[in-house]
Amino acid sequence: MSAVDCAIVGGGIVGAALADALSEAGMSVALVEARSIGTGTTACGMGHLVAMDDNAAELALTSWSVSLWRALAEGLPRAVEYDACGTLWLAADAEEMAAVDSKVSNYRAAGVRVEVLDAAALYEAEPALAPGLVGALRVPGDAVVYPPLAARTFALRAQARGARLMTGTPAQALRPGEVVLANGDVLAARHIVLAAGVASPSLCPGLPITPRKGHLLITRRGAPVVKHQLVELGYVKSAHGTEGASVAFNAQPRVTGQLLLGSSRQPGVGTREVEAAILERMLRRAADFLPGLDGMQALRAWTGLRPATPDGLPLLGPHPEQPWLWLACGHEGLGITTATGSARLVADQLLGRSSAIDARPYLPERFLGRTPRQVAHA
Partner 1 sequence: MREACDLVVVGAGPGGLAAACHAAEAGLSVLVLDPQSQPGGQVWRGEARKRENRLARRWLDRFAASGARFRPGARVVAAPEPGLLLVEEGTSSLAVRYGRAVLATGARERFLPFPGWTLPGVLGVSGLQVLVKDGLPVRGKRVVLAGTGPLLLAAAATLHRHGAEVLFIAEQAPAARHWGFALQLWRHPGKLLQGAALAASLVGIPTATDAWVVAAEGEARVERVRLSVRGHEETLPCDYLGAAYGLVPNLELAKLLGCEVASGAVVVDERLETRVKGVHAVGELLGIGGVDQALVTGELVGHVAAGKPVPTGLERSWRAVRTFADQLARHDAPREELRRLATPETLVCRCEDVPLQALDGCRDLREARLYARLGMGACQGRTCGAAAEVLFGWTGEDVRPPCLPARIGSLRLPSPPPHTRAS
Candidates 31-39, 68-76, 191-199, 242-250; binding stretch for partner 1 (CB under 8 A): 31-39
CB of 284 to partner 1, least distance (A): 8
Candidates 12-20, 53-61, 300-308, 370-378; binding stretch for partner 1 (CB under 8 A): 300-308
CB of 65 to partner 1, least distance (A): 22
User: In this chain, which of 108, 113, 221, 377 binds partner 1, going by CB under 8 A?
Assistant: 221
**By CB under 8 A, residue 283 contacts partner 1:** yes
Closest CA to 378 of 140, 173, 106: 106
**By CB under 8 A, residue 149 contacts partner 1:** yes
Q: Interface mask (CB under 8 A) for partner 1, residues 165-184, using x and -? A: --xx----------------
Preceding amide of 355 cis, omega within 30: no
User: CB-wise, 113 or 221, nearer to partner 1?
Assistant: 221
**By CB under 8 A, residue 293 contacts partner 1:** yes
Is residue 274 within 8 A of residue 322, CB to CB? The reply is: no
| Number of residues in contact with partner 1 under rule CB under 8 A | 32
User: CB-wise, 36 or 322, nearer to partner 1?
Assistant: 36
Distance CA 35, CA 10 (A): 9
User: In this chain, which of 108, 175, 237, 300 binds partner 1, going by CB under 8 A?
Assistant: 300
Question: Regarding beta strands 87-91 and 178-181, do their DSSP bridges make them parallel or antiparallel, or are they unpaired?
Answer: unpaired
User: CB-wise, 196 or 368, nearer to partner 1?
Assistant: 196
**By CB under 8 A, residue 155 contacts partner 1:** no
3-state SS assignment for residue 315 = strand
Q: Which parts of 119-168 are beta strand (E)?
A: 135-139, 143-144, 164-166
Candidates 2-10, 176-184, 214-222, 242-250; binding stretch for partner 1 (CB under 8 A): 214-222
Distance CA 103, CA 114 (A): 9
- With 0-12 / 13-18 / 19 or more C-beta atoms within 10 angstroms meaning exposed / middle / buried, residue 290 is buried
CA geometry: angle at 171 spanning 168 and 173, to 5°? 170
In degrees and rounded to multiples of 5, residue 47 shows phi and psi of 80, 30
Candidates 26-34, 107-115, 146-154, 337-345; binding stretch for partner 1 (CB under 8 A): 146-154
Is residue 111 within 8 A of residue 67, CB to CB? The reply is: no
**By CB under 8 A, residue 270 contacts partner 1:** no
Candidates 122-130, 276-284, 333-341, 363-371; binding stretch for partner 1 (CB under 8 A): 276-284
Helix H or strand E segment including 340: helix 335-351
79: DSSP letter: G
Residues with Cβ within 8 Å of residue 47, at least 6 apart in sequence: 81, 144, 145, 146, 147, 150, 252, 336
User: CB-wise, 44 or 66, nearer to partner 1?
Assistant: 44
Candidates 199-207, 290-298, 323-331, 338-346; binding stretch for partner 1 (CB under 8 A): 290-298
Instruction: Please give the residue ranges that form the binding site for partner 1 (CB under 8 A).
Output: 35-36, 38-39, 43, 148-149, 152, 167-168, 217, 219-221, 274, 276-277, 279-280, 283-284, 287, 293-302
